[in-house]
Amino acid sequence: MSITRRIAMLFRVKANKLLDRSEDPREVLDYSYQRQLEMLAQVRRGLADVATSRKRVELQENQLRAAADRLQNQAQQAVAQSRDDLAREALTRKAATLAQLDQLQPQYDELTAQEQKLTTASQRLQAKVEAFRTRKETIKATYTAAEAQSKISEAVTGISEEMGDVGLAIQRAEDKTAQMSSRAQALDELISSGALDDATAPIGQRDDIQAALDAGRGSSVDAELAQLKSKLTPAIESPAPQGNRS
């Protein structure tokens, strides 16, 4: 496999993964339903156009029939008045009118058949659209409920991205608090030992001399303890007095 094909395949994989992550089934269902409504509207417009054309042809046929009947009456009147020439002209026009009527009949039949087909198709498509709408709403409701349940479960277990970020923030806060506490204790020990001066103490209250004197108090205690031990030692070492022997 060439590098170009591998790059193209990798791009398609990444794009498909990104699309799957950002795709909302509810939006896809709504879009599909909208497209079906548009198709149904187109079928209905086509049905209206065919019905209009059929009605126009029907009006023309009615007009031609009326004209043929009028010409027939005129021919009869002309014969009654012994006007054969007028009767012949009326009958000639009547024949032309009937010929036009015969030419319109196939068009009328074709338009009628198309109208029936479009009516049936429109009814079937309408039924499918209504069924799809019901199924769409059911799927959307189920998806919404599942999404809510998933978010609740993630919140309870703390595995969601938001809760994970909160957990990390808490951990960082605890670590920082422990670090600051340790630093404070270390500074207190350094100040107590005299290694550092307390910058907040008033000037003259504590200095290195006082710290040394405070440290020297421990040696006086040791001296006093040694003195007590020296007083007790002779009493322990001296032998107890013995009784008179008979």
pLDDT of 184 reads 78
pLDDT of 34 reads 92
Read off the pLDDT of residues 208-227 as tens digits, 9 standing for 90 and up: 555 565 655 555 667 777 77
CB within 8 Å of 121: residues ≥ 6 apart: 43
Question: Whole-angstrom Cα distance, residue 215 to residue 211?
Answer: 6
pLDDT of 246 reads 41
Question: Whole-angstrom Cα distance, residue 225 to residue 4?
Answer: 91
Question: Whole-angstrom Cα distance, residue 78 to residue 92?
Answer: 13
- Structural domain spans, the chain: 14-157, 165-198+205-232
Contact 51, 115 (CB under 8 A): yes
pLDDT of 245 reads 47
- Low-confidence residues in the chain, pLDDT < 50: 243-246
